[in-house]
Structure 1
Amino acid sequence: MPDYGHDLVLGTFLTPSAADPHRVVGLAQATEHAGLDLVTFQDHPYQPAFLDTWTLLSWVAASTERVHLAGNVLNLPLRPPAVLARAAASLDLLSGGRVALGLGAGAFWDAIVAMGSPRLTPGQGVDALDEAIDIIRGIWDAAERTPLRVHGTHHHVDGAKRGPSPAHDIPVWLGAYKPRMLALVGRKADGWLPSLGYLQDGDLAAGNARIDDAAHGADRDPREIRRLLNLGGGSFSGSGFLQGPPQRWVDDLLPLVLDQGISGLVLSTDDARTIARFGEEVAPALREAVAAARASTGTSTGSVRSLAALAARRTGIDYDAVPASLVENAVEPGDRDYGYVRSTYVYTGSPGLVLRPRDAAQVQEALVFARAQDVPFAVRSGGHGISGRSTNDGGIVIDVGALDTVEVLDRDQRLVRLGAGARWGDVAVALQPHGLAISSGDYGDVGVGGLVTAGGQGFLSRSYGLTLDHVVAAEVVLADGRLVRADAEHEPDLLWAVRGAGANFGILTAVEIQAAELGDVVYATVIFDATDTAPFVESWAALVESSPRELTSFLSLVPARGQDPAVGYVVLVWASDDTAAAITSLERFLDLAPVLQQQAQLVPYAATVVASHSRHTGGAEATTRGGLVEHVTPELAARLGELLAARDADMLQLRAVGGAVNDLGPAETAYAHRTQNFSLLATARGARRARIDEWWDRLEPHLNGVYLSFETNQSPARVAEAFPPETLARIARLKGRYDPEHVFDGNFGVAPLPRADANDVPR
């Protein structure tokens, strides 16, 4: 039987004795200390002399850091598959992706029946295990929105909610000996886990052949299935199989790997000294011997993609050319994580490849690779952008979410360094102990990169300004693959452009920002009956403009639904812990309209932008229209009231962006809108999407500019509204210098001026 080319997994098979419970935990820790990969335990729930295996697995997971864990094998008849699936996913999440699921159809049936399970014949046991695998994998598939339904003879679920997803692809290994079980391994399992003591000469080869035949019949590549083997009787003295010095062990084990395809070798022992020598002496020598033999024969190694996954690949992408550093974390259609990386907050994309670089150097590699492909590419930091421009259909997504560091560089100067993939809620939590904060939108799951390059209209806008106003340095991967630093002394023109038009110039990897001194804030929410919409909106806006800069407010308007009136949801943030001053200002808002609900509290700023780390699975596509507003006039308020009454928008929102936002001049950053006091947005789904555009034509005379992040229409007219003429001209000239081929054109792309005209850039 040929070598399947899997990496070696070496581990132990320990007895879960209840007589000395901490001894078995110590042996598991010794397995890790010896450098081995895997700890496994028998599972006999009917055996009172043994610890419960799942409880033991959980305890050992908390007592170790690196080693992987599995039952060997779990007694499925006594462990309901839906519950087992959630338990495995939970332990995998808690342990950082260290769980494997070894399953058996059941033996010792008298003892199993005594514990309350119905007796099954061997054939029924195989059928039950087959059904259980479908349930287990279905529970793990939390990206699938439909409830799980499996109507089996022995196991069934009817509308079970899916999730949680495990931290990694938990492999399902089956303990199998008979033909039907071996065929099930080939059809559905990730590994075969028999014990050598139960096998006769030739059984390994025959078992592999049967598994391979079943895999081919299920359109699988047999190399997808790992072959493991429990080994007993090892000793470093005497003679015979696995007897004698470590080199003798290597000589005995090498044929199992090279001739029988075994890549998981699990030693049954409860002796700490044997474990130590197996890990420290046998394991490295065996790995070296296997590597040398594979090199001499040219054996293909590494992960193998299923035929179904290969069929899901998209044209225009050379998947085999993905840089080696990016392969491990790349996600393709058909991968378990695809459902979580394909989409953004509102848009369900279908990219052909998602690259997830871990550092700036890998971002460079990802961009160079993406440019060489015949498909579009998008860049994602958090994926929360409501315009959906951080995914695509059939192209490549470069997801920088792993670049999520938060570091205080200089507390006295309030200088903070943020990775582009950090979430603003996590930033707020990290800065809170230092008495610092950065205004950053209204939702903690938003990524740093997308927001900081577009603006950053947050809960502290009137006291702090936009997020980008305080960026003093940026690290950017340019279109040609170079990583450059832009600050006051290096590439100052690029720093100007990044602050407001960053998506046009490269992929942000990190920024340095001056934070604000801030401890607790007063956070209030008031829900109003907004039936009389126009005077309510006009009065709210006037109050905001007349309030001290410490106050920033957002107003969200939701149309009437059924018997419920139209409501105005007002958020008020007072940027200090001066509760007396806050109350004085906040109480003025309570007279705007009938109050349906209110609350106010003194909280850390981090509590206003909590990061839930929700995985994006898309949804109904939305049209979002935006516009900047100098003042909310009676005419504009009347139009907004008419739009709300027509129910042609799912939501209208006005954000306060005056105060400190307008302290900068329009030429200081590529975000040039420095006279407006409010930012307006509206969202619409379904049939209302077309009507919202008609409404925007009516609102246009009252608007002055547009905020990039709140606009799905990327027509040239909208680009011109986003960037006033002088700003747009400067961006175009800088594009000619930094991105002459217009590589970055997917997010309000500005056409570059020819390179000859781009060198003379006014500052």
Structure 2
Amino acid sequence: MPDYGHELLLGTFLTPSARDPDQVMALAELTEAAGLDLATFQDHPYNPDFLDTWTLLSWVAARTERLRVSANVLNLPLRPPAVLARAAASLDRLSHGRFELGLGAGAFWDGIEGMGGRRLTAGQGVAALREAIDVLRGVWEDTSEPLRRDGTYYPVPGMQRGPTPAHDIGIWLGAYQPKMLKLTGQKADGWLPTLEYLRSPDRVTANRLIDEAAVEAGRDPREIRRLLNLFQVSASSHNRGFLQGPPEQWVDQLLPLVLEEGFSSFLIGRDDPRLIQTFGQEIAPALREAVAKERTGHHTEQGPVRSAVALARRQPGVDYDALPESLATKAVEPGDPQYERVRHSYIRQGAPALVIRPASAADVVDAVAYARTQDVPLSVRSGGHGISGRSTNDGGIVIDMSGMNKVEVLDRATRRIRLETGARWGHVAQALAPYGLAMSSGDYGDVGVGGLATTAGIGYLVRRYGLTIDHIVAAEIVTADATLIRADAEHHRDLFWAIRGAGGNFGVVTALELEAYEVGDVVFAQLTVDASDAAGVLSRWGRLVEEAPREISSFLSLFPGRRGSPPMAQVTLVHADDDVEAAQAALGPFLEIGPILDQHAQLAPYPAIVAPPGNQHRGQGLSDTHSGLLHHVTPEAADAMAAMIRSGDVMIMQFRSVGGAVNDVDRDATAYPHREQNFSVLAATVADRGPQLDKLWADLRPHLDGMYLSFESDTAPERLLDAWPEPTLSRLRAIKATYDPDNVFNRNFPIPPAPARQTREEADDVV
């Protein structure tokens, strides 16, 4: 029997005793502390001496940070699959991908029937489990089509799917008899028996039945993880039998199970703290080392296994077999279960040939080096909201940074923080709040750090504290030659200047260090305004924003009238302080901007106003957008913008205040040179009305000065000078020639490199 090449997964099989729940939790927490991967619990809902397994799994997931959790195995007859699917996906999302689904057809039928479950024969149990697996996967499928299934045991006449899990939940079956083993090979992701119960068929025969069934179903047997519960085990100084001895004996006896029988997961079923600690701290590291050494010597194929159907969906132009081994488990291809979740951005639909999800800067280095060898487009994605639409592509490679999402406070005294660029701004706010700190960027908590923090970063506190880029003190970036560089005021000064305003052109920024600011509660207000006189509303709003104290930042969204109703404006106002009286005085004049249809104001923690909703990315946004900057909302500009919203061809216009602290920074201090304007304006529409938007925008363009490039979908060369007026553009081109002369990073509003004669020293001299 071969080694299937799965990464080792080691853990515990704990008794969910209701008599001492604190002890159960202590053993689960010890499982994590000992360095093990997984804690599992039996599920017998009819047994009053046991805690409810689902409640326990949720509690353990909440009390741990890294530990995976699973039942071993869930009792399907008492947990209907449609409900179970939603519960599983919810727990997986709440735990950030740490739930796996051990599942059984049912046993102890007297107890099941006593709780209202239907008694089934062995054959019926297998048939019901087969239907249940289809229901589970159907609910998790990322599509808007309702789920409908005919079924003898679990029919689904019609239900909305979702939520999708945070990761591809493994369905592991507790199987012993031939029909169950065949079902495992046909449909499951793992086989989860207990060693002491494997009598007939034996392990070799059972594995063969699984493999044969997998091949008959068109699957590769390596798709199925083999797990093993171990009960009759102990750690002692002398050999007292199989897995009853010192750590080195365990390694010698477990190694053949991995290399010759294909097992890659071992779960010890003893509620013994000393054994758990020994297993995690002594046996597990030694076993991992021994397995890695043997696999290297035998060139064992590792990483994800793809079915023939998935392999047939590979796209031309990408050498999938050349992907570095370090990225094998972090790559998603067309046909993989997770592909639908990573192919699109929030705004744009995409069909990339490969999505790489690095977990470290070293992975990013490998990803860039690999991507350079492939003659296809390369996109980089942080959060994937991406109004400009450049964080996905068709037929290319996407480096998806969402897995690199750590938020750290490095030094509270100096307010120094470190953000990985896959983090989302809502999560950043939540992580910093306990320290009384904030870093404001954007107005939507799902947006990723990387995009805004390398463009500018206009947030809800912008007029008081400035742009996000104005607080960056260092950056870690992988450049086009696959080199990891730290750039700051003393090192790579030219690159440090460039990434603060044009960062997407120079590499993959993996982390940023910033100086946060002291923020506790803020006053948050929203007004809904009748915008029949759209020009008047905009003019009054613009004047009031400029007259307001810097504590006030404001965003305005303007919507066209629909079905006989007038245009509507939604005004958001944030007072960057918890002084309620001062906020009332500053906010009061905004009640005069037009007929107020609704209003509310509240004192709130900053994280509450940017809470991330966790939206799925399906390319559901407006794909055609234009962006510009205004010094003032003049009557002429207001008239042009009112005409746009009255046309019916523009779905939304958004206005964001800048000015204030933004304009305290010298225009040459960063690669964002727009330090005199007071407003950013965006207009967006659906694709078939793009030409009309272009014409209307042309009427507004004479009133604009500059552009905020993250909101612009037009990448025509003439837009470069809107984003980076001279001499900024020439400086950027010179730096581009130094760090990316081959224009590898050419998707994010591409800057052409200067002629090759421009040297690094020359570029550095102009900074």
Distance in 2, matches of 1:668 and 1:239, equals 70
Match in the other structure for 1:717: 718
**Are positions 1:322 and 2:336 aligned together?**
no
Match in the other structure for 1:147: 146
Structure 2 counterparts to residues 117-132 of structure 1, below 5 A:
117-132=117-132
Match in the other structure for 2:747: 746
CA apart distance, 1:130: 0.6
**Are positions 1:226 and 2:236 aligned together?**
no
Match in the other structure for 1:210: 209
Aligned CA distance change for structure 1 residues 303 and 484 (closer, same or farther; 3 Å): closer
Structure 2 counterparts to residues 601-640 of structure 1, below 5 A:
601-640=602-641
Q: Is the 8 A contact 1:236 1:242 kept in 2?
A: no
What do residues 130-171 of structure 1 show as CA deviations (whole Å, max 9, x unaligned)?
110011222333x33333322212102244333444444332
Q: What do you get for the CA RMSD once the two structures are aligned?
A: 3.6
Stretch deviating more after TM superposition (699-708 or 575-584) = 575-584
Distance in 1, matches of 2:56 and 2:434, equals 37
Match in the other structure for 2:447: 446
Match in the other structure for 1:75: 75
Q: 3-state SS of the aligned residue for 2:654?
A: strand
Aligned CA distance change for structure 1 residues 43 and 420 (closer, same or farther; 3 Å): closer
Aligned CA distance change for structure 1 residues 599 and 740 (closer, same or farther; 3 Å): same
Match in the other structure for 2:477: 476
Q: Is the 8 A contact 1:235 1:242 kept in 2?
A: no
Q: Is the 8 A contact 1:527 1:598 kept in 2?
A: yes
Distance in 2, matches of 1:262 and 1:569, equals 59
Aligned CA distance change for structure 1 residues 642 and 275 (closer, same or farther; 3 Å): closer
What do residues 586-632 of structure 1 show as CA deviations (whole Å, max 9, x unaligned)?
22222221110112233344443333444433315520111222322
What do residues 385-427 of structure 1 show as CA deviations (whole Å, max 9, x unaligned)?
2111112122122233344444455656555443333333333
Match in the other structure for 2:348: 347
Aligned CA distance change for structure 1 residues 452 and 285 (closer, same or farther; 3 Å): closer
Aligned CA distance change for structure 1 residues 67 and 344 (closer, same or farther; 3 Å): closer
**Are positions 1:88 and 2:88 aligned together?**
yes
- The AA in structure 1 aligned to 2:191 is W
Match in the other structure for 1:703: 704
**Are positions 1:389 and 2:379 aligned together?**
no
Stretch deviating more after TM superposition (254-263 or 315-324) = 254-263
- The AA in structure 1 aligned to 2:590 is F
Match in the other structure for 2:174: 175
Aligned CA distance change for structure 1 residues 711 and 204 (closer, same or farther; 3 Å): same
Match in the other structure for 2:135: 135
Distance in 2, matches of 1:239 and 1:452, equals 59
Structure 2 counterparts to residues 55-454 of structure 1, below 5 A:
55-58=55-58, 68-93=68-93, 97-141=97-141, 143-195=142-194, 199-200=198-199, 203-230=202-229, 242=242, 245=245, 256-265=257-266, 299-408=300-409, 414-432=415-433, 435-454=436-455
> Over alpha carbons, which structure has the higher Rg?
1
- The AA in structure 1 aligned to 2:641 is L
- The AA in structure 2 aligned to 1:486 is A
Q: 3-state SS of the aligned residue for 2:588?
A: helix
Structure 2 counterparts to residues 515-530 of structure 1, below 5 A:
515-530=516-531
Q: 3-state SS of the aligned residue for 2:640?
A: helix
Aligned CA distance change for structure 1 residues 6 and 481 (closer, same or farther; 3 Å): closer
Distance in 2, matches of 1:15 and 1:410, equals 42
Distance in 2, matches of 1:489 and 1:240, equals 63
- The AA in structure 2 aligned to 1:78 is L
- The AA in structure 1 aligned to 2:553 is T
Stretch deviating more after TM superposition (672-681 or 598-607) = 598-607
Q: Is the 8 A contact 1:521 1:575 kept in 2?
A: yes
Aligned CA distance change for structure 1 residues 120 and 442 (closer, same or farther; 3 Å): same
Aligned CA distance change for structure 1 residues 232 and 746 (closer, same or farther; 3 Å): closer
Distance in 2, matches of 1:250 and 1:635, equals 79
TM-score, length of structure 1 as denominator length: 0.89
Q: 3-state SS of the aligned residue for 2:181?
A: helix
Aligned CA distance change for structure 1 residues 224 and 639 (closer, same or farther; 3 Å): same
Q: Is the 8 A contact 1:241 1:252 kept in 2?
A: no
Aligned CA distance change for structure 1 residues 488 and 108 (closer, same or farther; 3 Å): closer
- Unpaired segments of 5 or more residues in structure 1? none
Distance in 2, matches of 1:288 and 1:760, equals 50
Match in the other structure for 1:455: 456
Q: 3-state SS of the aligned residue for 2:537?
A: helix
Q: Is the 8 A contact 1:241 1:249 kept in 2?
A: no
CA apart distance, 1:348: 2.0
Aligned CA distance change for structure 1 residues 720 and 207 (closer, same or farther; 3 Å): same
Distance in 2, matches of 1:489 and 1:38, equals 45
Distance in 2, matches of 1:505 and 1:78, equals 56
Q: 3-state SS of the aligned residue for 2:332?
A: coil
TM-score, length of structure 2 as denominator length: 0.88
CA apart distance, 1:641: 1.8
Identity across the alignment (%):
57
Q: Is the 8 A contact 2:304 2:328 kept in 1?
A: no
Structure 2 counterparts to residues 686-701 of structure 1, below 5 A:
686-701=687-702
Q: 3-state SS of the aligned residue for 1:725?
A: coil
Q: Is the 8 A contact 1:403 1:419 kept in 2?
A: yes
Distance in 1, matches of 2:666 and 2:280, equals 66
Aligned CA distance change for structure 1 residues 574 and 315 (closer, same or farther; 3 Å): same
Distance in 1, matches of 2:637 and 2:446, equals 32
Distance in 2, matches of 1:546 and 1:195, equals 73
Distance in 2, matches of 1:47 and 1:343, equals 46
Aligned CA distance change for structure 1 residues 621 and 678 (closer, same or farther; 3 Å): closer
Distance in 2, matches of 1:552 and 1:667, equals 24
- The AA in structure 1 aligned to 2:192 is L
Distance in 2, matches of 1:556 and 1:162, equals 32
What do residues 620-660 of structure 1 show as CA deviations (whole Å, max 9, x unaligned)?
55201112223223222222222212211111122222333
CA apart distance, 1:512: 3.8
CA apart distance, 1:91: 4.2
Query: How many residue pairs were aligned?
Result: 762
CA apart distance, 1:684: 0.2
Aligned CA distance change for structure 1 residues 535 and 400 (closer, same or farther; 3 Å): same
Match in the other structure for 1:545: 546
Structure 2 counterparts to residues 599-678 of structure 1, below 5 A:
599-678=600-679
Distance in 1, matches of 2:590 and 2:624, equals 31
CA apart distance, 1:681: 0.9
Distance in 2, matches of 1:272 and 1:553, equals 56
CA apart distance, 1:26: 6.7
What do residues 430-481 of structure 1 show as CA deviations (whole Å, max 9, x unaligned)?
4445554444222233223211222222333333333323434433322222
Aligned CA distance change for structure 1 residues 197 and 574 (closer, same or farther; 3 Å): closer
Distance in 2, matches of 1:403 and 1:465, equals 26
CA apart distance, 1:258: 4.8
Aligned CA distance change for structure 1 residues 460 and 200 (closer, same or farther; 3 Å): closer
Stretch deviating more after TM superposition (438-447 or 298-307) = 298-307
Distance in 2, matches of 1:336 and 1:588, equals 53
Aligned CA distance change for structure 1 residues 159 and 388 (closer, same or farther; 3 Å): farther
Q: Is the 8 A contact 2:303 2:329 kept in 1?
A: no
Distance in 2, matches of 1:319 and 1:63, equals 39
Q: 3-state SS of the aligned residue for 1:755?
A: coil
Aligned CA distance change for structure 1 residues 195 and 623 (closer, same or farther; 3 Å): same
Aligned CA distance change for structure 1 residues 325 and 460 (closer, same or farther; 3 Å): same
Aligned CA distance change for structure 1 residues 279 and 532 (closer, same or farther; 3 Å): closer
- Unpaired segments of 5 or more residues in structure 2? none
CA apart distance, 1:692: 0.8
CA apart distance, 1:225: 1.5
